[in-house]
């Protein structure tokens, strides 16, 4: 019994002699690397939405660059922050941003915002379009289409 007590006391003493933390090298990315990562991410998003928009050609016929705009979930968060209070119309859009997707989800408006289109690429590389309509101040789904899309991968830079 004394033998086990001596072993336990010795182990406890050894553990207290050595520091309980590990010294690890701090890993930071260079400014050039951060910029490269951001550029590649933006190229990825552009490629994803080029593919999605090309899948739904009739959206391109409505496309007039001066009259087309889109919002991401982050944009909606900024709008709510600027308004300073909850907005029923904006809040009704939140549900459409839930779920997995490649890149981000965007709600596109073409012309008058009576209808909008939620566009995204799902994790199976399908291009998804959800048609939304404003009804009584809220956005509701009135249709959904899923079509095969191109497999687009995010190309990570190898830098420090």
Instruction: Give per-residue pLDDT as tens, 46-63.
Output: 999 889 988 987 776 655
Average pLDDT of span 109-125: 88
What b-and-e string marks burial along 136-151, b requiring 16 or more CB atoms within 10 Å of the CB? eeebeeeeeeeeebee
Domain boundaries, the chain: 32-148
Rounded to a whole number, what is the distance in angstroms from the first to the last CA of the chain?
55
User: What is the enclosing helix (H) or strand (E) of 34?
Assistant: helix 31-55
- Span of 39-48, 127-136, 149-158 with lowest mean pLDDT: 149-158
Pairing outcome for strands 126-135 and 68-71: unpaired
Q: By three-state DSSP, how is residue 70 classified?
A: strand
> What is the three-state SS of 134-146?
EECCEEEEEEEEE
Q: What is the C-alpha separation between 25 and 17, in angstroms, rounded?
A: 22
Distance between CA 141 and CA 117 in Å, rounded?
A: 9
Alpha carbons 120 and 104: distance in angstroms, whole number: 7
Residue labelled with tokens 């087309």:
68
pTM for this prediction: 0.74
pLDDT grade, residue 23 (50/70/90)?
A: low
How high does pLDDT run on average in the chain? 82
Give all strands (DSSP E) within the chain, no chain letters.
68-71, 102-110, 115-121, 126-135, 138-148
């Amino acid at each position: 019994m004394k033998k086990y007590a001596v072993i336990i006391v010795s182990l406890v003493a050894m553990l207290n002699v050595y520091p309980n933390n590990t010294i690890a090298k701090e890993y930071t990315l260079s400014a050039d690397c951060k910029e490269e990562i951001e550029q590649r991410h933006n190229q990825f998003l552009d490629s994803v939405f080029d593919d999605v928009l090309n899948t739904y050609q009739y959206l391109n016929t409505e496309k007039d660059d001066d009259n087309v705009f889109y919002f991401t979930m982050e944009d909606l968060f900024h709008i709510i922050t600027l308004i300073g209070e909850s907005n029923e119309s904006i809040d009704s859009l939140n549900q459409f941003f839930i779920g997995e997707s490649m890149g981000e989800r965007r709600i596109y408006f073409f012309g008058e915002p009576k209808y909008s289109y939620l566009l995204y690429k799902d994790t199976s590389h399908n291009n998804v379009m959800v048609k939304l309509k404003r009804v009584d101040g809220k956005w509701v789904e009135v249709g959904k289409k899923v079509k095969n899309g191109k497999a687009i991968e995010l190309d990570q830079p190898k830098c420090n």
